[in-house]
């Protein structure tokens, strides 16, 4: 429930002051006076008696006819009516200035505003401000009476109608409040107060989503007249009310309601960066990374030099496995802002990932010139030099790193990982042995030794190292037993043929990390391959897809579980998406071909297997499937041939 002040209700809105006072006010108090909070929207001039425009007006709306010839008498002086308006504007300005003073006297300001209303009953800003002050003074009934009188004098004022709706809400008259708010919003879809009243009443009734839909319907009924700013204001108010209500709305529920609002705002031309980034954030929070990326790419088209948006595109592309695009965007960001913290280091890391070692060397050398004692940069430079086939420099760099008293265990581990990635397990073994000598009680070193043994296909030694990892993972080292530890254990056990331990290990991991999509995926796939616990596998794979909808292997598992349950038709869309996301991974293409064949789509099955075989020419399973399908096709053709 908001406070009893209309001024606190809205973001700052523009003042409507006479041109003759505008320059003097800016000299006296600066432009801030034109951003004071008002309940009404910037749609009505002080002397306006006609219906307002539904589109927000420019920064300052000047009261009309104060100095025009029609307001002057034959003597050149203002007419009595125009003079009254002029005095009303002057008093209003003084009253608003006094309200900005921390030591202001509300009663004195109220008296001045009453004089304004007496001089010009059609000065709606003053009428609303009087009600606002009465609410601040706790005079709810007086505020209602004031607004009712003002409404009688200004029957077409949308702002007064919205203010009445707000006061009726404070009085607990929600039905009347919603009626007035709906009327005001229908006339002017930019009327913020009316929008808030409708949402707050809906929130009180535990139907905030319904309230949002009601407001959306009103905005849509106004068609193209509704600017993007109205939709953005609806989103802002919804978030405020959702988080402040007794039935707080958070997470996906919040974002699912926000999404269509931001989509409407983004559809209003011209597209604006703020709207597109809000839309992208909502897509991302809902796990729709590809949609988020499309929105950000549209924002980049509007402002190609916006480094922040370029980096956000790169982050999403990295998460989606689009390494080439991510690298391109990081290069653009670095070119635009080479001094931005972290950009050079991230780009250097991407160069390492893409085996552009000389480029990585250049960036890390630049970074080290600025931060010569940064051990992490020194490690990265050492690895880049190794990859660039500059062994003497790499050796010198590594020795400098390892000789440092502050050398962390991660220096050895990063080198070992790089060596394993280059299929150099013997070198990795030597690096890890040196690490173990220096850090004999490190669980991390034992864990990486297990990975190194797995690369050598020495699964017994790998499992021994994993057991030692468990024993050493205490105190500061306890974090080693993370999700990746359980995945490594499961993988090694499976390769070692210890399927009984495999399943138990994944169960243990899921107890500790119940929201790990990777652990869910591994257990579901194991069950699917075994043809057991298929109902449980289906539940796990569904949850994994919800958590990571753009993960190709997870989509593959979801489809493979359905296939193993005899639902090839249901499996097909998941397997097709998995093929797209994994760029025709051979295992995925094997599953996809099997599903096609089950649905009597032999040609499609053969095509899928052939795509997989292109990626893995030595895959005997794929080759055998193709041969069998071609033989079946030939036999079927022979049997159907007519008898001569």
The CA–CA distances, whole Å, from 136 to 4, 5, 131, 325 equal: 6, 5, 9, 56
Cα dihedral 258, 264, 266, 268 sign: negative
The predicted structure's pLDDT at residue 435: 94
Q: Could you tell me if 33 and 15 are in contact, meaning their C-beta atoms sit under 8 angstroms apart?
A: yes
- Rounded percentage of the chain residues whose pLDDT exceeds 90: 62
Residues 28-60 pLDDT 10s? 222 222 222 334 333 323 333 333 332 233 333
Helical H segments across 72-223, by residue range: 80-100, 106-119, 124-136, 140-153, 158-170, 174-187, 192-204, 208-221
How far apart CA 531 and CA 319 sit, in angstroms, is: 32
Residues 242-262 pLDDT 10s? 888 766 777 888 999 999 999
Residue 641 has pLDDT above 50, yes or no: no
Q: Could you tell me if 508 and 538 are in contact, meaning their C-beta atoms sit under 8 angstroms apart?
A: no
DSSP letter assigned to residue 480:
G
Token code pair at residue 355: 């085996």
How far apart CA 545 and CA 287 sit, in angstroms, is: 10
Helix and strand numbers (H, E) in the chain are 32, 0
The predicted structure's pLDDT at residue 404: 87
Which residues, at least 6 apart from 286, have a Cβ–Cβ distance to it below 8 Å? 252, 255, 256, 259
How far apart CA 367 and CA 436 sit, in angstroms, is: 30
The predicted structure's pLDDT at residue 202: 92
Residues 509-567 pLDDT 10s? 999 999 999 999 999 999 999 999 999 999 999 999 999 998 999 999 999 999 999 99
Residues 577-622 pLDDT 10s? 999 999 899 999 999 999 999 999 999 999 999 999 999 998 999 9
Give the helix/strand (H/E) hosting 280: helix 273-285
* pTM score, whole prediction: 0.64
The predicted structure's pLDDT at residue 363: 94
Q: Is 516 helix (H, G, I), strand (E, B) or coil?
A: coil
Q: Could you tell me if 603 and 591 are in contact, meaning their C-beta atoms sit under 8 angstroms apart?
A: no
The predicted structure's pLDDT at residue 9: 37
Q: Fold for 1-171, please state it.
A: 1.25.40
Residues 263-318 pLDDT 10s? 999 999 898 999 999 999 999 999 899 999 999 999 999 999 999 999 999 999 98
Of 592, 581, 520, the closest CA to residue 550 belongs to 581
Mean pLDDT score across all residues of the chain: 84
**Alpha-carbon 313 to chain mean position:** 12
Cα dihedral 559, 563, 567, 569 sign: positive
How far apart CA 643 and CA 496 sit, in angstroms, is: 56
């Amino acid at each position: 429930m908001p406070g009893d002040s209309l001024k606190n209700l809205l973001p700052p809105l523009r003042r409507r002051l006479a041109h003759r006072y505008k320059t003097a006010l800016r000299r006296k108090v600066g432009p801030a006076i034109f951003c004071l909070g008002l309940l009404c929207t910037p749609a009505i001039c002080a002397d306006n008696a006609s219906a307002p425009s539904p589109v927000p007006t420019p920064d300052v709306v000047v009261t009309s006819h104060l100095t025009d010839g029609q307001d002057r008498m034959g003597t050149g002086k203002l007419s009595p009516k125009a003079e009254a308006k002029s005095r009303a504007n002057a008093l209003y300005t003084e009253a608003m200035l006094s309200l900005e003073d921390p030591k202001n006297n509300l009663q004195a300001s109220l008296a001045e505003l009453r004089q304004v209303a007496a001089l010009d009953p059609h000065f709606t800003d003053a009428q609303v401000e009087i009600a606002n002050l009465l609410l601040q003074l706790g005079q709810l009934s007086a505020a209602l009476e004031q607004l009712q009188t003002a409404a009688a004098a200004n029957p077409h004022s949308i702002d007064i109608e919205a203010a009445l709706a707000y006061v009726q809400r404070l009085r607990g008259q929600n039905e009347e409040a919603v009626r007035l708010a709906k009327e005001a919003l229908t006339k002017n879809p930019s009327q913020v107060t009316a929008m808030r009243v409708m949402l707050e009443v809906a929130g009180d009734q535990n139907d905030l989503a319904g309230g949002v839909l009601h407001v959306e319907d009103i905005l849509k009924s106004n068609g193209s007249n509704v600017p993007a700013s109205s939709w953005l204001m609806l989103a802002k108010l919804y978030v405020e009310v959702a988080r402040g209500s007794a039935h707080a709305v958070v997470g996906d529920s919040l974002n699912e309601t926000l999404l269509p609002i931001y989509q409407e705002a983004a559809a209003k031309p011209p597209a604006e960066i703020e709207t597109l980034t809000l839309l992208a954030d909502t897509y991302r929070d809902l796990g729709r990374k590809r949609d988020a990326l499309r929105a950000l790419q549209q924002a980049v088209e509007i402002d190609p030099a916006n480094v922040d948006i370029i980096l956000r595109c790169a982050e999403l592309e990295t998460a989606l496995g689009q390494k080439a695009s991510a690298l391109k965007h990081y290069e653009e960001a670095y070119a635009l802002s080479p001094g931005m913290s972290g950009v050079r280091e991230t780009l250097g890391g991407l160069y390492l990932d893409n085996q552009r070692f000389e480029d990585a060397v250049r960036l890390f050398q630049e970074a080290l010139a600025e931060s010569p004692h940064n051990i992490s940069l020194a490690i990265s430079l050492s690895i880049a030099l190794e990859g660039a086939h500059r062994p003497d420099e790499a050796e010198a760099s590594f020795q400098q790193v390892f000789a440092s008293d502050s050398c962390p265990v991660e220096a050895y581990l990063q080198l070992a990982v790089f060596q394993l990635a280059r299929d150099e397990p013997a070198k990795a073994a030597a690096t890890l042995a040196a690490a173990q000598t220096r850090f004999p009680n490190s669980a991390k070193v034992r864990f990486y030794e297990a990975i190194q043994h797995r690369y050598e296909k020495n699964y017994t030694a790998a499992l021994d190292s994993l057991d030692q990892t468990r024993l050493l993972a205490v105190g500061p080292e306890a974090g080693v037993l993370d999700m990746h530890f359980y995945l490594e254990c499961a993988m090694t056990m499976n390769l070692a043929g210890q399927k009984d331990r495999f399943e138990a290990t994944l169960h243990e991991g899921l107890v500790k990390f119940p929201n790990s999509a990777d652990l869910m995926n591994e257990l579901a796939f194991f069950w699917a391959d075994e043809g057991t616990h298929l109902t449980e596998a289906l539940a796990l794979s569904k949850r994994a897809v919800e958590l990571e909808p753009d993960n190709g292997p997870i989509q593959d598992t979801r489809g493979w579980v359905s296939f193993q349950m005899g639902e090839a038709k249901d499996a097909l869309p998941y397997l097709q998406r998995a093929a797209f996301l994994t760029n025709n991974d051979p295992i995925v293409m094997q599953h996809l071909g099997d599903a096609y064949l089950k649905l009597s789509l032999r040609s499609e099955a053969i095509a899928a297997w052939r795509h997989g075989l292109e990626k893995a020419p030595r895959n005997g399973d794929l080759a055998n499937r193709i041969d069998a399908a071609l033989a079946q096709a030939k036999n079927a053709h022979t049997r159907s041939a007519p008898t001569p």
